Amino acid sequence: MVSTVLYTLVFVKIVHLNKNTEMRTKEVRIFVYEYKTLSELPDEDQKLVNAAREAAKSAYAPYSGFSVGAAIKLASGKIVKGNNQENAAFPTGLCAERVALFYANATYPKVSVKTIAVTASNHEGIVEGPVRPCGSCRQALSEAEFRFNQPIKVILDGKEKIQVLDGIDSLLPLAFKPESLD
């Protein structure tokens, strides 16, 4: 039996233009679907999380000890994996999500990304709370959605709960998008 808890987070943007202009409020809602255990997820999502957990085992994280794994399922059904690659010169490294995403886009440039699962482990095993992508990875994933005009489902793994999002807009509301360049 699936026990999904639905959370609604609300962001409010308030714009004060000037004294003579009515204040405008914009509400942006995101939905986070939460599961207690991996077995509650559909089989294909379980498989993707397990692929991410497998990828985390090969992470190069000697400095942080925080091994991140990402697994991407393409529209073709192909699963592509990545993990964090750290460097003594810290900014030189790259997150697991972008390692997987850029590899997928470089190798299968015409195939859209359907789902990404992300997990992380430290010396005690899988981290308790769901791991959350950094801002740069959110931006890269947002571009991948635009590139293929296809929402990317996000699965954030954790020992105590697993969270699922419908798309990158839920990770990065009010994102900088290609139309922002106009």
Q: By the criterion CB under 5 A, which residues form the site for Zn ion? A: 95, 134, 137
Pick the closest to residue 181 from 143, 128, 136 (CA basis): 143
In whole angstroms, the minimum distance from the beta carbon of 11 to Zn ion comes to 21
Distance in angstroms (rounded) separating the CA atoms of residues 38 and 48: 11
Catalytic residue, candidates 97, 143, 145, 160: 97
Check if the beta carbon of residue 163 is closer than 8 Å to that of residue 156: yes
**Closer residue to Zn ion (CB): 46 or 139:** 139
Kindly tell me which of 28 and 134 has the beta carbon lying closer to Zn ion.
Answer: 134
Report whether 60 contacts 86 (CB < 8 A): yes
Closest chain position to Zn ion (CB) = 95
97: annotated active-site residue = yes
Q: Least distance to Zn ion from the beta carbon of 60, Å?
A: 15
Q: Count of CB atoms within 10 A of residue 53's CB?
A: 19
Q: Which is nearer to Zn ion, 15 or 176 (CB)?
A: 176
DSSP state, residue 131 = P
> Least Å distance between CB 25 and Zn ion?
31
Cα-based torsion angle of the residue sequence 154, 78, 1, 158 in order, rounded to the nearest 10 degrees: -40
Q: Which residues are catalytic?
A: 97
